[in-house]
Structure 1
Amino acid sequence: MIDPLQIDDILASGGALSKYFSSYEERGDQIEMSKLVLQGYEENMAEVIEAGTGIGKSFGYLVPAILHYEETREKTVVATSTITLQKQLVDKDLPTLMKALGKDIPFALLMGRSNYLCLRRYLDNTVSQSIFASDPTSEDGKLATWVRTTEDGILDELQALPRGVLKSDIASDFELCLGQKCPNFSRCFFFKSRKKAESAGIIVTNHHLLFLDAKKRCDNDEDYTEKALLPPYNRLIIDECHNMDKNATSLFTQVFSYYGFLWEYRKLVAVKHGANASNLITLAAGIVKGKENEALDVIKELESAEKIINNLNSILVMSLSGSEQRVDKSNYSFFLSKYSASLIAIKQSLDKITSLLNSIIGKTAFSDEDSYIQQGINSAICTFEGYSSFISEFLNIKEFKDKVYYLTREKNKNREEVQLKISPLEVSDILRESIFEKLDSVICLSATLKVDREFDFFRNQVGLDQREILSGCFESPFDYKKNLLLLIDNGKVLYKNNQESLYFDHAAEKIISAVRASGGGALVLFTSYKMLEYVSSKALSELAGFNILIQNGELSRSQLLKRFRDDKDSVLFATQSFWEGVDIPGDSLRLLILTKLPYPQVNEPLFKSRCEKLESEGESSFMMLSVPSMIMKLKQGLGRLIRSKDDKGVAYILDGRMNRSREYFLSQLPPCNCPDDFLDESLERRIEDFLY
């Protein structure tokens, strides 16, 4: 039994951390939160905790995890949504705690296999043999230098790759892995990370690997005392848990696409460089004598399948009116009449390819040296069989109940493609059965979880509604009333689907005025790329002299954030991923503009299906799903502005619909300075007076 006073000995004034940091300040809510986490460990409870920005959430949950491991030697897995937080935990927070506490508890970062460099695949790639690889200033040379110097081989560390090289070309791949037969096994980044995790007391990972591991254990009827994708463990902390539903849904969504097929095709027919330059199919046929003609047949069939799939993709791109389209009872017959012939032809081609590949490798035993050939072909067979089953399901839908079938328009390498997708309608049952019913302690934390002062919405989303929980809400220590000015547009011009341009022009005018008043340092968040493109194009001409940054695919998210952070008077126009995970304290971010309330798109296939389910049960989908989803994302968006106790900023919500239920919406947000007498004609003065 761990005495809760040990938390005080570490986190309170006069404790270990205050002796380690000369400027340490005790945070009462952090101590109470940490004791609640410890209670969850001691009483084998599930917990839901909202911890506001600035609480010191990560130290608050890491301290009980450290104390518990020291007492019991039971591992804790900490799963987060973003790699930024994962790296912070293992590169900063955990090392700091170990030094401050004088402890040496092992910890490790464990990611999905595809996040790691595969040395064998890199050395087989033409980029490693490029004449420019020895030039450290070239892109090939920068990659070669990184490969030689990286300690953990995590591909996200790379800012850029040489032209023509994809991360997937050099990433670790389960189906292509030779394991201990690989000549680079002793240096393998993936296996080194697994070995380190097995001996670690605290394992940091991502939501996707956590959910995949849990689903695998559930499907195989394995408990958490056994090794799966993660080592055995029984204590789990899920940080950034407001993303659990989204991340789990993404992970369990099946996808068939042209570029997905093209990637598998490329793995089979790409030339292997060296003395015996050839592709996997020809190499296999050379080992299994008498299969040369079948190898040619496979290549021809792959070329044929590529043409059919490419042609279907072109038709779908032209046919799809918006970015997404659900396939349901109302349009399924029409869908079959237009596309079933193409899908049947694709399935027949995939089945023929699979049969030919099976015939080529047959029962032949490949040598250790050539085992990568067999592995690569087996990988393709598995993938093509999966695609074939996927198409069969799409062609034979019996009911539209537990799954959602839909098409989405995506941009890949500046070319559009339409992906066919199958998603689970809900992931709550999966998460309940695989995680919450199996583990003793599960601690769910986020800065934004409560809706209507309750955790019910989150609990229902993730399947935590049937387990008794402990809960707590710990407000941010920041003085929002003093440091955050919230302005809401008067609503004279409201967004309407049939009058988009009117609202876009209104938004552009107000954004330009607000940016001029703040002198830059502005993050402008949109809910659609269409509005972002329209407004940013106007801003470029009207805001001459400002460094305008636009999320348009030319720069990565990290590159945009670095440039925005480095130039304190710049302006960043962004959408979707920038609504959360942006941590820029100081003057670089002093004006936050939210162009629309972030309601979910009503015609988004998965959301629409969930709404229909609620309506069929006699519930209001607007109040039960639309409003809570919007509030959680709104809180995330507003959370970008005040990141330290010294931060001061203006948040300007352009969507006048907020005034319709002003008091209700404000009750969901941290208490701040939101003047009732604000008129939009005083926008510039309000901003200037507050900031300067």
Structure 2
Amino acid sequence: MTDAASGGRIPSGPDRHSGVGALFAPGGAIARTLGGTFEPRPGQARMAEAVADAIAGEQVLLVEAGTGTGKTFAYIAPGLMARKRMVIATGTRALQDQLVGKDLPQITAALGLPALAVVNLKGASNYLCKFKFAQLRTGQLELEMGTGRPNSLVLRQIGEWSEETATGDFAELTGVSPDDPLLSSIDGSGDMCHGQRCELYSECHVTKVRREAAEADVIVTNQALYLAGISPQPGAEPLLPAHDLAVIDEAHQLEGFASSAFSIEVSRSRWRRIARNLRTASQLSGTRIPAGGGLDNAADPFFNRLERYVRDVAGGADDGPYRRQVVIDAAAHEGFVGFISEAAAGLISTIDAMKRSLEERIETENSQFDPLIPVASNLLAQHEALHRLLDDPDPEWVLHLQPDRQGRYALLSTPLSVGPILEAQMFGPTRPATAVTLTSATLATAHGFGFTRERLGIGEADELALESPFDHERQALLYVPRDLPPPAVGDERGALAPVVDQIVDLISASDGGVFVLCTSRRRMLQYHELVAERAAGRTFLLQGRASPAALISRFRRERNAVLFATKSFWQGVDIPGRALSMVIVDRLPFPSPAEPVFAARCRAIDAEGRSSFIALSLPLAAMDLKQGFGRLIRSRRDRGVLALLEDRILTRRYGRFLLDALPAVPVTREISKVRAHLARTRGQS
């Protein structure tokens, strides 16, 4: 390996970029390695050659690779052949694990390379913190609120595993639910991380994996961590080593990850965590911090005041998960600050009383281990964030209130556009990787890559669009019912009845698995309740009743289950065969105009004299619809139906744009043709 990864273990040799396409030919190296499981696909070879050219030319490359192209192998092979350090950033941890456990070893074997140093780098919250666990076992660690008393059996399981694990990755921990709140109290993230000051630093799992990454040939991570790695906090240890090649897989998610990564946030849960850790650290260090015990008492009135602003000033809020987000624009900013000023002043005053002693401790403490120092650093960072959020509004940022799953509001500021930030940090002349490949099944609209390039701040770049190798005209069918009323706006059963009737009829037409994908959580819950009352003999699964991995695993086993889910299941789910024979979409997936960041971005586009519907809403809906369709046909043997339960795609002028985003697929308005299509599936199985 050369350049940023000098000293690595990929052997040097003659440049083989020109022969990368031959790897994917019938009888080529990959076919010989994988045997009968490999199908030569021209699009895969074309993509591999384009990636190799981008690496050689040190270019940014955008590749839309239709479902079944084999994009993973197509970007791994030229990356390894380039003999340079490569970072692959995915959209999900499941894809990370697949790359490390399956795809990279297969390509390495096909290329005849020695075993490479490959590191699966996850966020610190995925790893056990030995220090926190030791404090928990001795009763010195205050747990996350709502965790409750630790179960002795769970503690014993974690203890036994902690003595055996080499990685500390919670994914290895069996017998304990990944959603167990105890894990968040003993993970490697948060304010109790002491870094090199920790007495267990030499045994730290997070430190170990980051050191391994610094020496690795290939680092597999996720997009959120990659964004944090290329823009680290001042004084923080780098999350990623220098690297020459970057691949962003599932790149259609990058704007969303970037919006979250670059946001400034203060939340009740964050302040409670800081207060809890401050108490623990004070106890461990034997030091009393002035006003430290009052941090909870000062933070709660501030966040209660935010809640009251939503209820009394911003128009009210529903209960539970339906609480809406609230944008605080320039016109509302002065009134908002005035409304919360007294509570904010109380919180700031409490911190100021603590600040001097904490800053002095950070500056003067010479001991190797001081538990107060990391807590103090995080507290002061939140103090600075609070001041920034309450300062005069910045027209390039969106100030908004957003509820968590428990309906508790946080105050955030999010960039109006992440494009300029990404251009400066990721795609511009000083980008960390000389060659960057972005790939997904949905990067282009019917008009090309312009939308994605604008949103992500990508200037000069190569582009390649590859159609899926599947025969969608034969394998798939798009069903749009006749005579459905416009999408229902009420919650009464009568308003929902026509859609429920269609869902029941479609389920009865299929003896395979069915996804019912809803554009809101409210509709998901309503349709699940109403359909389950009428459709017998099927297993009905509901997002939120179990972890996504558990739901998908059961869905595969049942082979004719019905899963009701929201947008999170529109992507990254691979269920070939009859286990998924139908995808039902309740309505076109236009973004919600109530979402404050999206609404602010629309207003900014409209202010430029452009149509935000054409420039933003429509392209986003097209990409989401294409993602939903992509769940359906996952192999050459699959057959299935996409049912869209509203007809604007056929009756509105913009419907052509949405149809053109999908593969060429027959359209019907007759449910009899749905039954006939699925009957042919049964006859061929």
Residue 400 of structure 2 corresponds to which residue in structure 1?
A: 406
Within 2, Cα distance between the matches of 1:351 and 1:490? 65
Describe the SS at the equivalent of 1:50: strand
Instruction: Please tell me whether residue 385 in structure 1 is matched to residue 386 in structure 2.
Output: no
Describe the SS at the equivalent of 1:495: coil
Describe the SS at the equivalent of 2:354: helix
The alpha carbon displacement at 1:332 in A equals 2.6
The one of 619, 624, 630 aligned to 2:615: 624
Aligned residues: 646
Q: Does the 8 Å CA contact 2:194/2:374 hold for their aligned counterparts? A: no
Instruction: Please tell me whether residue 451 in structure 1 is matched to residue 445 in structure 2.
Output: yes
Describe the SS at the equivalent of 1:523: strand
TM-score normalized by structure 1? 0.87
CA 1:406–1:691: 2 relative to 1, 3 Å? farther
Q: Does the 8 Å CA contact 1:326/1:407 hold for their aligned counterparts? A: yes
Q: 1:281-360 residue pairs with structure 2 within 5 A?
A: 281-285=282-286, 297-299=291-293, 301-309=294-302, 311-312=304-305, 315=308, 318-319=311-312, 320-321=316-317, 322-355=323-356, 357-358=358-359
Instruction: Please tell me whether residue 122 in structure 1 is matched to residue 133 in structure 2.
Output: yes
CA 1:129–1:27: 2 relative to 1, 3 Å? farther
Instruction: Please tell me whether residue 477 in structure 1 is matched to residue 492 in structure 2.
Output: no
| Counterpart residue identity of residue 204, structure 1 | V
Describe the SS at the equivalent of 2:408: strand
Within 2, Cα distance between the matches of 1:310 and 1:183? 36
The alpha carbon displacement at 1:358 in A equals 4.5
Instruction: Please tell me whether residue 396 in structure 1 is matched to residue 391 in structure 2.
Output: yes
The one of 186, 190, 193 aligned to 2:206: 190
| Counterpart residue identity of residue 396, structure 2 | D
The alpha carbon displacement at 1:161 in A equals 4.6
Q: 1:49-60 residue pairs with structure 2 within 5 A?
A: 49-60=63-74
The one of 656, 664, 672 aligned to 1:671: 664
Within 2, Cα distance between the matches of 1:28 and 1:163? 42
Q: 1:115-514 residue pairs with structure 2 within 5 A?
A: 115-126=126-137, 138-158=153-173, 160-161=176-177, 165-173=181-189, 176-179=192-195, 182-216=198-232, 228-269=238-279, 279-285=280-286, 297-299=291-293, 301-309=294-302, 311-312=304-305, 315=308, 318-319=311-312, 320-321=316-317, 322-355=323-356, 357-358=358-359, 361=361, 365=365, 367-368=367-368, 371-373=369-371, 377-399=372-394, 401-412=395-406, 416-437=407-428, 438-439=430-431, 440-464=434-458, 466-467=459-460, 469-490=461-482, 492-495=484-487, 497=489, 503-514=495-506
Within 1, Cα distance between the matches of 2:362 and 2:663? 65
CA 1:450–1:603: 2 relative to 1, 3 Å? same
1:250-277 CA deviation, whole Å, 9 max, x = no partner? 11111111111111112122xxxxxxxx
Q: Does the 8 Å CA contact 1:317/1:409 hold for their aligned counterparts? A: no
CA 1:94–1:419: 2 relative to 1, 3 Å? same
Q: Does the 8 Å CA contact 2:170/2:178 hold for their aligned counterparts? A: no
Q: Does the 8 Å CA contact 2:64/2:465 hold for their aligned counterparts? A: yes
Moved over 6 A (4+): 127-130
Q: Does the 8 Å CA contact 1:76/1:235 hold for their aligned counterparts? A: yes
Q: Does the 8 Å CA contact 2:330/2:393 hold for their aligned counterparts? A: no
The alpha carbon displacement at 1:312 in A equals 2.9
CA 1:357–1:183: 2 relative to 1, 3 Å? closer
| Counterpart residue identity of residue 660, structure 2 | S
Within 2, Cα distance between the matches of 1:611 and 1:585? 37
Q: Does the 8 Å CA contact 2:192/2:375 hold for their aligned counterparts? A: no
Residue 23 of structure 2 corresponds to which residue in structure 1?
A: 10
The one of 635, 638, 658 aligned to 2:629: 638
Residue 21 of structure 1 corresponds to which residue in structure 2?
A: 34
Q: Does the 8 Å CA contact 2:88/2:221 hold for their aligned counterparts? A: yes
Within 2, Cα distance between the matches of 1:162 and 1:581? 19
CA 1:565–1:180: 2 relative to 1, 3 Å? same
The alpha carbon displacement at 1:94 in A equals 0.7
Residue 276 of structure 1 corresponds to which residue in structure 2?
A: none
CA RMSD of aligned residues (A): 2.9
Within 2, Cα distance between the matches of 1:81 and 1:575? 17
Residue 34 of structure 1 corresponds to which residue in structure 2?
A: 48
Instruction: Please tell me whether residue 88 in structure 1 is matched to residue 103 in structure 2.
Output: no
Describe the SS at the equivalent of 1:176: coil
| Counterpart residue identity of residue 96, structure 1 | Q
The one of 53, 78, 83 aligned to 1:64: 78
Q: Does the 8 Å CA contact 1:175/1:378 hold for their aligned counterparts? A: no
CA 1:493–1:616: 2 relative to 1, 3 Å? same
Describe the SS at the equivalent of 1:384: helix
Within 1, Cα distance between the matches of 2:180 and 2:441? 40
Within 2, Cα distance between the matches of 1:490 and 1:352? 67
Residue 534 of structure 1 corresponds to which residue in structure 2?
A: 526
CA 1:513–1:137: 2 relative to 1, 3 Å? farther
Describe the SS at the equivalent of 1:125: helix
Which structure 2 residue ranges, 5 or more long, are not aligned? 1-13, 142-149, 318-322
Within 2, Cα distance between the matches of 1:190 and 1:570? 39
Within 1, Cα distance between the matches of 2:663 and 2:418? 30
Moved more, 2-11 or 593-602: 2-11
TM-score normalized by structure 2? 0.88
Q: Does the 8 Å CA contact 1:523/1:572 hold for their aligned counterparts? A: yes
Moved more, 182-191 or 563-572: 182-191
Residue 586 of structure 1 corresponds to which residue in structure 2?
A: 577
Within 1, Cα distance between the matches of 2:76 and 2:609? 43
CA 1:31–1:123: 2 relative to 1, 3 Å? same
The alpha carbon displacement at 1:44 in A equals 1.4
Within 2, Cα distance between the matches of 1:493 and 1:150? 57
CA 1:608–1:365: 2 relative to 1, 3 Å? closer
Q: Does the 8 Å CA contact 1:520/1:568 hold for their aligned counterparts? A: yes
Residue 272 of structure 1 corresponds to which residue in structure 2?
A: none
CA 1:386–1:504: 2 relative to 1, 3 Å? farther
Within 2, Cα distance between the matches of 1:363 and 1:620? 53
| Counterpart residue identity of residue 298, structure 1 | G
Residue 289 of structure 1 corresponds to which residue in structure 2?
A: none
Within 1, Cα distance between the matches of 2:86 and 2:501? 51
Q: Does the 8 Å CA contact 1:518/1:691 hold for their aligned counterparts? A: no
The alpha carbon displacement at 1:318 in A equals 4.3
Within 1, Cα distance between the matches of 2:530 and 2:451? 39
Within 2, Cα distance between the matches of 1:109 and 1:362? 33
Residue 567 of structure 1 corresponds to which residue in structure 2?
A: 558
Instruction: Please tell me whether residue 525 in structure 1 is matched to residue 541 in structure 2.
Output: no
Within 2, Cα distance between the matches of 1:266 and 1:4? 55
The alpha carbon displacement at 1:388 in A equals 2.7
1:59-113 CA deviation, whole Å, 9 max, x = no partner? 10111011101xxxx2111111111111111111111122233212322222233
Instruction: Please tell me whether residue 45 in structure 1 is matched to residue 40 in structure 2.
Output: no
1:119-160 CA deviation, whole Å, 9 max, x = no partner? 221222149999xxxx99933333334434434222345574
CA 1:384–1:56: 2 relative to 1, 3 Å? same
1:636-691 CA deviation, whole Å, 9 max, x = no partner? 1111111111111111011221112444322211111223xx23587656655665
The alpha carbon displacement at 1:6 in A equals 2.5
Within 2, Cα distance between the matches of 1:644 and 1:162? 31
CA 1:150–1:591: 2 relative to 1, 3 Å? farther
Which structure 1 residue ranges, 5 or more long, are not aligned? 270-278, 287-291
Within 2, Cα distance between the matches of 1:200 and 1:396? 43
CA 1:691–1:511: 2 relative to 1, 3 Å? farther
| Counterpart residue identity of residue 435, structure 1 | M
Within 2, Cα distance between the matches of 1:127 and 1:605? 45
CA 1:127–1:283: 2 relative to 1, 3 Å? closer
